[in-house]
Amino acid sequence: MGAEGGIERDNEGVTMANDFFWSYTDEPHASRRRQILSQYPQIKALFGPDPWAFAKITVVVLLQLATATLLKDASYIKILMVAYFFGSFLNHNLFLAIHELSHNLAFSTPSYNRWLGMFANLPIGVPMSVTFQKYHLEHHRYQGVDGIDMDIPSKPEAYMVRNAFTKSIWVIFQLFLYALRPLFLKPKPPCLWEFTNLTVQLSLDFAMVYFYGWKSFAYLIASTFVGGGLHPMAGHFISEHYVFNPTQETYSYYGPLNYLTWHVGYHNEHHDFPRIPGTKLHMVKEIAPEYYNSLESYKSWSQVIYNYVMDSTIGPFSRMKRKPRKSE
């Protein structure tokens, strides 16, 4: 891969990264995709939308909104408990549904996916579905490219997060850093779709407060916040591309939480074939096992979070970067 990264030693002689891992080769997924398709062209039959996506999203959205209305008179302690142990799973599921929709994997018509993305966005409480797609597709096309891939932490984040305590704080707020980072580092002018997303979302938020009160709305926001922090499902933010092995920049997770997260754990498979819906990504591994069995993978997202926080050699600098080409 041709990667290198800077390290330093603290007073106890423990190494800590002080620079990103720099790769001088192209990202691995395009070349692997060509190799696999040349050997297994039948994989192309897996391309295309998931016919059950609309139904699955509708069930989760209605269930979460119904739960919010039932908690309109609950105590804030109860709201927080329900948000962490129930609502967080639903809202994180919807966040990853929006990820699926950003690849147009519910309908063949892109605009239908955007409308469904705004619908899936409703219980999350903050408009993000359209903006997420703009930056996420660049993450796929320019994986690791300095100044373009906004999935990678900024240098100020990395310099501030240097020990277990600061890493814990960073993990708690990682969803907000993930959402706000591109708006500060690479702002883009908003489009009509984003104004539509904002209008639809604020309409739902105002209606929730008007008809059911602030506690119902607080439940939705709390479900989003706790679901993106120290939460098992949020382990995918770290597991996907944080470099625990300097020879590998993308990692898959093969565990039970895939069933609640649109199978985003199959992340090498997803980057290799972003046109295949999550429900079929396991088939890629089954058809071409020799390309994936040799790669490091995870079975527990909670363990990934623990290792990230406690391992003094791992932090926000533990990401693979590459210099942009002149054409980029």
Alpha carbon distance 242, 280 (integer Å): 24
Domain membership of residue 277 (yes or no) is: yes
Q: What is the pLDDT of residues 195-206, one digit of tens each?
A: 999 999 999 999
Alpha carbon distance 151, 157 (integer Å): 13
Note the pLDDT of residue 18: 85
Range of the domain at 84: 3-321
Domain membership of residue 303 (yes or no) is: yes
Q: Are 53 and 116 in contact (CB under 8 A)?
A: yes
Q: What is the pLDDT of residues 242-252, one digit of tens each?
A: 999 888 999 99
Tell me which amino acid residue 108 is: S
Domain membership of residue 228 (yes or no) is: yes
SS3 content of the chain, % helix, strand, coil (to 5): 60, 5, 35
Domain membership of residue 135 (yes or no) is: yes
Q: What is the pTM of this model?
A: 0.93
Tell me which residues of the chain have a pLDDT lower than 70. Answer: 1-16, 327-328
Instruction: Report percent pLDDT > 70 for the chain.
Output: 95
Domain membership of residue 326 (yes or no) is: no
Domain membership of residue 328 (yes or no) is: no
If one counts the domains in the chain, the total is 1
